[in-house]
Amino acid sequence: MPGSCTSRVIRMEDLDRKIVALLAGDGRMSFTDLGKATGLSTSAVHQRVKRLEQRGVILGYAALIDHTALDLPLSALISIRPIDPSQPDDSPERLREVPEIESCYSVAGDSSYILIVRVASPGALENLLAVIRARANVSTTTTIVLSTPYEHRPPALT
Amino acid sequence: MPGSCTSRVIRMEDLDRKIVALLAGDGRMSFTDLGKATGLSTSAVHQRVKRLEQRGVILGYAALIDHTALDLPLSALISIRPIDPSQPDDSPERLREVPEIESCYSVAGDSSYILIVRVASPGALENLLAVIRARANVSTTTTIVLSTPYEHRPPALT
DNA sequence: AATGAAATAGTGCGATA
DNA sequence: TATCGCACTATTTCATT
């Protein structure tokens, strides 16, 4: 039956994409269950996942946490702009050791970076802003997060 | 030795915080290793993690993905504002089924929500903006992410 | 709540097609 | 790259403290 094979077989690329999407949705899924979901043997899945980790497609695994439970109930987005645009902008490196900063995005537009931060209180945010301004020599614009309808949703499996 | 006990023993609350922080940093860490890191038996860690999951402290587990590998190389932050402020604002519900939206934050300030989205191309972003505006009856301001120095860093263990 | 023991299940690796 | 087999390790439950 010429042709019937290629129509049934899932291409390798798609298998990797499916594995990645499954793990993005459930980071603790076992290789055995991934195998059942993809039609591969446990070993084959194991091999592919390790390769995806090595190639940097899978960057790591994380538990998603309710930050209020960790005494970090206040989230904010902070836009930063260099005070002296003639200086080289190495803000991400200067701010890397600040543990309250969860994410740092380099952006087009009015600001150079947008940070997502998690702190315990308005007072802690005030202190954090002072630290950021001092360490990176930037001005800041802060947007307080009032609530989080949803976040960190996995990419669609298609 | 009165007093020596309380100074050595880690309070239960702190044990849970430590487990949560460890899993936030490595979502696939085994109960055995968590036990070694906390000084608890595997069973005790297991019991605590299940309880943390049930109480919603641990919301889930996710593989962290290089989105370029999933053909979603373009990230953006989209601020949205209702066009008709007299209408009830249920934008998060109206946008929940849009798979490109990774996160939705309700914020104080000029806009009502800020979305983080992942798309394949500028064209896909254009389409997505049309979908968002139509579904939620909002105007949008889009900030393109040029690069991501870091994101999704776990909270500090302290 | 924590422990240790025991049954079940998953991981990781080497041989092999 | 896939599969199978096997030794090793982890998960999960339960009786006990």
Which pLDDT belongs to residue A8?
Answer: 36
Which pLDDT belongs to residue B157?
Answer: 75
A38, A18 contact by CB (below 8 A): yes
**Looking at the predicted structure, is the pLDDT value of residue A158 above 80?**
no
pLDDT band per the 50, 70, 90 thresholds, residue B141: very high
pLDDT band per the 50, 70, 90 thresholds, residue B38: very high
Q: Which residue has the higher pLDDT, B108 or B14?
A: B108
Q: Do A64 and B62 touch (CB under 8 A)?
A: yes
Q: H-helix or E-strand containing A18? A: helix A12-25
Which pLDDT belongs to residue A67?
Answer: 94
Average pLDDT over chain A, rounded to whole? 92
- Among B121, B95, B35, B112, which residue's Cα sits nearest to residue A145? B112
Query: What residues of chain B, 83 to 122, have a C-beta less than 8 Å from chain A?
Result: 92, 96, 99-109, 113-114, 116, 118
Q: Do A143 and B109 touch (CB under 8 A)?
A: yes
Proportion of chain A above pLDDT 90, given as a percent: 87
Which pLDDT belongs to residue B6?
Answer: 34
Instruction: State the nearest Cα–Cα gap between A59 and chain B, in angstroms.
Output: 5
Query: Other C-beta atoms within 10 Å of A145: how many?
Result: 18
Q: Do B27 and A28 touch (CB under 8 A)?
A: yes
Which pLDDT belongs to residue A53?
Answer: 96
- Residue A95's φ and ψ, nearest 5 degrees, are -100, 0
Q: Is B136 helix (H, G, I), strand (E, B) or coil?
A: helix
CA distance A134 to A141: 14
